């Protein structure tokens, strides 16, 4: 009986996607841009979801380059920017602005659709997010932490020089290349222009948020960034977050030094405590972090460091296996009906990217919100999925009943859509 719920959910997603396509046709929407998108990219399984959108893995058909395809719901877009004469979500604007920054994920293309925007980004291979990397190792030593944290600080300083405030720095928003150790910052859904005045609107993950926000509903961009870096630094070496909730964030300074659950040096303790200073005016600056004695200690290259990380090769093997499975499975026909604004160029040579609170190291929270992914409507794949479902221990009568109910619901929704369209005409 385990296959029935999954199959029913897939069928529901498929019918929902086809109904949306039908509504676009009934409302006179053209699908020519959707066809262009399908000629340029293929999409497969979902790889991320959270408060701002949903991300699928895919590939560019011209050269088989792996890509990540993100959908942003229009109702979740709070800030806008301008590229030329075109208004775009702030996430796209920021990524466009950061084109050429090696440590930031690169934008390849974007499309406007009735319900939001599609962003096509590079998908570095073989990479996983830092959350998954740290979970596989539980925790890492100071030298590995230094190797990674040095890259993060330099990236944040690059963003500062370009006037960009990310506002959601955490392990889930950093991709690590398992072969080179290089990090890339992703998910600019909370990003905003950096200014010297205080921010009065919160964006990001609450357990990485500084105490001044909870106490005064305002914060300064640079000081808040340093606090997030302190949380990230502590988490990388200790294998857990320094604070369990908002109360801890606001009262921990009254209880003395933050306890560590790994053997750490005094230089490391000093850097963490200065990043997590309760008073933002006494918090260490970003430039000071870069010249801190702990960060400037010598550390080996990635090849040497991975010799003590026994899970890296296993993670690499898993990534190559998944990528091969993706190639073997072929394309999954469009999870989203795409209707582009003709003003948007079909191809872009510039780069642009994007994925809220872990209360413990083993929990991951995401940040998007979207349309469901569909099954491939091509008959051969549907037959194969049905055959696979029936080959397991499935109650066939219950399966047929579920399909009949879904079919009835589809017809009813179709009739309502038709009646609305005819009523308007």
- DSSP secondary structure string, 34-101? HHHHHHHEEEEEEEEE-BSEEEEEEEETTTTEEEEEEEEEGGG---EEEETTEEEEHHHHHHHHTTT-
Q: Which of 168, 171, 187, 332 is labelled catalytic?
A: 168
Is 247 annotated as ligand-binding? no
Q: 108 to each of 27, 86, 232, 371, 421, how far by Cα in Å?
A: 30, 17, 29, 22, 36
CA distance 246 to 232: 16
Tokens of 122: 């590079």
Helix H or strand E segment including 193: strand 192-193
Q: What share of the chain is helix, strand, coil (3-state, %, to 5)?
A: 45, 15, 40
Written as one string, the DSSP assignment of 7-51 is HHHHHHHHHHHHHHHHHHHHTT---HHHHHHHHHEEEEEEEEE-B
**C-alpha neighbours within 13 Å on the C-beta side of residue 263:** 0
Phi-psi region of 64 (alpha: psi -120 to 50; beta: other; left: phi over 0): left
Provide the token pair at 315: 């993670």
Q: How far is CA 141 from the centre of its chain?
A: 26
Residue 109 appears among annotated catalytic residues: no
The number of CA neighbours under 13 Å toward the Cβ of 339 is 14
Q: Are 200 and 263 in contact (CB under 8 A)?
A: no
Please give the structure tokens belonging to residue 293: 């004695």
How far is it, in rounded angstroms, from Cα 289 to Cα 291? 5
Annotate 252-310 with DSSP letters as a single string.
Answer: GGGG-SPP-SS---HHHHHHHHHHT-SSGGGSPPHHHHHT-TTTTS----HHHHGGG-T
Nearest to 234 by CA among 218, 216, 220, 248: 248
Catalytic residues: 168
Known binding-site residues for ATP equal 70
Known binding-site residues equal 70
């Amino acid at each position: 009986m385990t296959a029935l719920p999954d199959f029913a959910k897939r069928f529901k997603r498929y019918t929902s996607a086809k109904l949306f396509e039908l509504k676009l046709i009934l409302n006179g929407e053209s699908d020519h841009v959707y066809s262009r998108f399908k000629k340029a990219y293929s999409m497969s399984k979902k790889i991320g979801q959270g408060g701002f959108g949903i991300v699928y893995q895919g590939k560019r058909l011209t050269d088989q380059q792996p890509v990540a395809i993100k959908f942003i719901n229009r109702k979740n877009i709070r800030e806008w920017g301008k590229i030329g004469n075109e208004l775009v979500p702030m996430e796209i604007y920021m990524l466009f602005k950061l084109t050429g920054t090696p440590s930031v994920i690169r934008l390849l293309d974007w499309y406007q659709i009735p319900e939001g925007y599609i962003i096509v980004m590079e998908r570095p291979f073989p990479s996983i997010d830092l959350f998954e990397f740290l979970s596989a190792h539980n925790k890492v030593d100071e030298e590995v932490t230094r190797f990674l944290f040095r890259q993060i600080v330099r990236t944040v300083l690059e963003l500062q020089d370009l006037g960009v405030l990310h506002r959601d720095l955490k392990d889930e928003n950093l991709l690590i290349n398992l072969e080179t150790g290089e990090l890339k910052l992703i998910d600019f859904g909370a990003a905003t222009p950096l200014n010297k005045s205080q921010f009065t609107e919160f964006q990001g993950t609450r357990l990485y948020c500084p105490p001044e926000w909870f106490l005064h509903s305002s914060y300064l961009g640079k000081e808040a960034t340093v606090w997030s870096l302190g949380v990230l630094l502590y988490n990388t070496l200790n294998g857990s977050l320094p604070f369990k909730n908002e109360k801890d964030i606001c009262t921990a300074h009254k209880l003395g030094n933050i306890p560590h659950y790994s053997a750490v040096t005094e230089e490391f303790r000093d850097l963490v405590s200065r990043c997590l200073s309760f008073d933002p005016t006494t918090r260490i600056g970003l430039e000071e972090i870069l010249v801190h004695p702990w960060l400037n200690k010598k550390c080996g290259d990635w090849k040497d460091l991975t010799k003590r990380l026994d899970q890296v090769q296993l993670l690499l093997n898993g990534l190559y296996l998944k990528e091969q499975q993706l190639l073997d499975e072929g394309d999954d026909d469009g999870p989203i009906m795409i209707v582009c604004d003709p003003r948007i160029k079909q191809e872009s040579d510039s780069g642009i990217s994007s994925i809220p609170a872990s209360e413990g190291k083993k929990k991951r929270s995401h940040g998007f919100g979207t349309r469901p992914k569909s099954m491939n409507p091509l008959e051969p794949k549907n037959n194969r999925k049905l055959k696979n479902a029936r080959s397991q221990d499935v109650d066939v009568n219950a399966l047929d009943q579920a399909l009949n109910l879904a079919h009835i619901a589809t017809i009813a929704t179709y009739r309502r859509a038709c009646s609305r369209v005819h009523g308007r005409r």
